[in-house]
């Protein structure tokens, strides 16, 4: 393999001078620099990261440890955000999935250690509370889309489910809807409670009574084996004599069944019933007809900001473990009409 030494030989300088050129250090004549650069090009030399790391004990590598993230349609944008940041900042990304198994998780932390990772991004598929099995490794860590149960205060970046749901609810209220249905997310998800709270609070603030609301559970059970009541819940909701004029679906995926339930009863969307989702899971939100009005989970930015934050933590410039929250912008499409 071509190393710094071969380059030095060809360029007729010492290896240290080559090193200087590579790292853009000062005190190299323009003429020498050019000779070295030519040699590098001619030999196709590429610096060896492993050697660098061993010398400097910094790997310039971040690890992503994810539960099912890279595995599922959802939230892969988090990973994309991280990768884009890494690419732009010359960092390398090592990625691993636990698949939910905690022995896996321990193994992965070991692996990260053995690569002398600078920091870890702990990412979850759904917004939730976790118990990271860090194995007391002491690698700087930032949580993305989740929050540690224990008070060990790792910095985290999360979506603002509350604000997103509040916006959606307001959007419906401002368009004259006064009977509104809500299909609840799986209660094990952190977003479930936040979104429901926002829905209740916001409708309450607008003067709606509990009897104006129609709230049903759409899903429950462990991730990957949940029971799905959405279709039944939506059907039942729409069969009431005093049926809601708008339904807020816990997320976009569930909205598919709300659409189908409504259409099976001969209701037109949005003329007879307005529907909103949550997440802006575009494979769904853009595929539905009419396209779905929803609140966009800021997955990409979650990843970008998370990497950024981790970087400052590693650099030591971030002292107190801060938790940031990112807003969920409303994406207006065609599934809601004004009354």
Partner DNA sequence: CAGACGCATGACAACGTCGACATATTTTTC
Partner DNA sequence: GAAAAATATGTCGACGTTGTCATGCGTCTG
- The residues that touch DNA, with contacts defined as CB under 7 A, are 1, 3-5, 12-20, 22-23, 26-29, 31-32, 47-48, 51-52, 54-57
Q: Choosing among a second copy, DNA, none, which partner's interface includes residue 23 (Cβ < 5 to 8 Å by kind)?
A: DNA
Instruction: Out of 62, 85, 259, 278, name the contact with a second copy by CB under 8 A.
Output: 259
Q: How far is the CB of 21 from DNA (least distance, A)?
A: 9
User: Could you tell me the CA-to-CA distances from 14 to 19, 46, 174, 299 in Å, in that order?
Assistant: 9, 17, 73, 48
Using rule CB under 8 A, residue 206 touches a second copy = no
Contacts of residue 59, Cβ cutoff 8 Å, sequence gap at least 6: 49, 53, 92, 115, 116, 117, 118
Q: Helix-strand-coil percent breakdown of the chain, rounded to 5?
A: 40, 20, 35
Check: CB of residue 15 under 8 Å from CB of residue 78.
no
From the list DNA, a second copy, none, partner contacted by residue 288 (C-beta under 5 to 8 A by kind)? a second copy
Kindly indicate which of the ranges 29-37, 40-48, 238-246, 304-312 contains the residues binding a second copy, using the contact rule CB under 8 A: 40-48
Q: How far is the CB of 253 from a second copy (least distance, A)?
A: 5
CB of 90 to DNA, least distance (A): 12
Distance CA 88, CA 311 (A): 13
Q: Site residues for a second copy, window 81-110 (CB under 8 A)?
A: 83-84, 87, 92-97, 99, 104, 107, 110
| Residue with token string 């409303």 | 330
The Cα–Cα gap between 226 and 254 comes to 13
Report in angstroms how near the CB of residue 321 gets to a second copy at its nearest: 23
**Footprint of a second copy on 109-148 (CB under 8 A):** 110-111, 113-116
Give the separation between CA 244 and CA 238, rounded to whole angstroms: 7
Neighbouring C-beta atoms of residue 43, cutoff 10 Å? 15
Helix, coil or strand: residue 45: coil
Q: Is residue 331 near a second copy by the rule CB under 8 A?
A: no
Report if residue 179 touches a second copy, rule: CB under 8 A.
no
Q: Which residues contact 65 (CB under 8 A, 6 or more apart)?
A: 96, 97, 98, 105, 108, 109, 112, 120, 121, 122, 123
- Report which DSSP code applies to 218: -
Reported as type and span, the H/E element at residue 123 is strand 119-130
Closer residue to a second copy (CB): 3 or 322: 3
Site string for a second copy, 218-257 (x = CB under 8 A): ----------x--x---------------------xx-xx
Task: Identify residues 266-305 at the interface with a second copy (CB under 8 A).
Answer: 266, 268, 281, 283-284, 286-289
15 binds, among a second copy, DNA, none (CB under 5 to 8 A by kind): DNA
CB 333, CB 175: distance < 8 Å: no
Contact positions toward a second copy, by CB under 8 A? Answer: 1, 46-51, 53-54, 57, 59, 70-74, 76-77, 79-80, 83-84, 87, 92-97, 99, 104, 107, 110-111, 113-116, 228, 231, 253-254, 256-257, 259-261, 263-264, 266, 268, 281, 283-284, 286-289
């Amino acid at each position: 393999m071509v190393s710094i030494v071969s380059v030095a030989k060809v360029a007729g300088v010492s290896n240290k001078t080559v090193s200087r050129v590579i790292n853009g250090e000062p005190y190299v004549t323009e003429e020498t620099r050019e000779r070295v650069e030519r040699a590098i090009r001619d030999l196709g030399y590429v610096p060896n990261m492993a050697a660098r790391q061993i010398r400097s004990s910094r790997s310039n590598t971040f690890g992503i440890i994810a539960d099912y993230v890279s595995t599922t349609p959802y939230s892969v944008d988090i990973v994309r955000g991280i990768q884009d940041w890494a690419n732009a900042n010359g960092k390398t990304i090592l990625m691993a999935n636990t698949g939910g198994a905690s022995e896996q998780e321990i193994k992965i932390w070991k692996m990260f250690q053995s690569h002398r990772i600078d920091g870890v991004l702990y990412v979850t598929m759904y917004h939730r509370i976790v118990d990271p099995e860090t194995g007391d490794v002491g690698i700087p860590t930032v949580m993305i889309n989740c929050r540690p149960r224990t008070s060990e205060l790792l910095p985290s970046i999360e979506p603002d489910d509350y604000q997103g749901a509040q916006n959606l609810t307001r959007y419906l209220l401002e368009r004259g809807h006064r009977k509104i249905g809500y299909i609840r997310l799986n209660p094990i998800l952190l977003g479930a409670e936040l979104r429901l709270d926002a829905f209740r609070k916001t409708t309450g603030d607008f003067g709606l009574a509990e009897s104006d609301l129609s709230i049903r559970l759409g899903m429950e059970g462990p991730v990957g084996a949940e029971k799905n009541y959405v279709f039944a819940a939506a059907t039942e909701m729409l069969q009431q004599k005093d049926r809601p004029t708008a339904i807020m679906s816990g997320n976009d995926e569930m909205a598919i069944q709300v659409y189908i339930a409504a259409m099976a009863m001969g209701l037109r969307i949005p003329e007879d019933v307005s529907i909103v989702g949550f997440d802006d899971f575009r494979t769904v939100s853009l595929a539905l007809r009419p396209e779905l009005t929803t609140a966009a989970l800021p997955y990409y930015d979650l990843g970008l900001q998370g990497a950024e934050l981790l970087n400052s933590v590693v650099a030591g410039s971030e002292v107190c473990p801060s938790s940031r929250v990112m807003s969920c912008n409303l994406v207006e499409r065609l599934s809601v009409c004004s009354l």
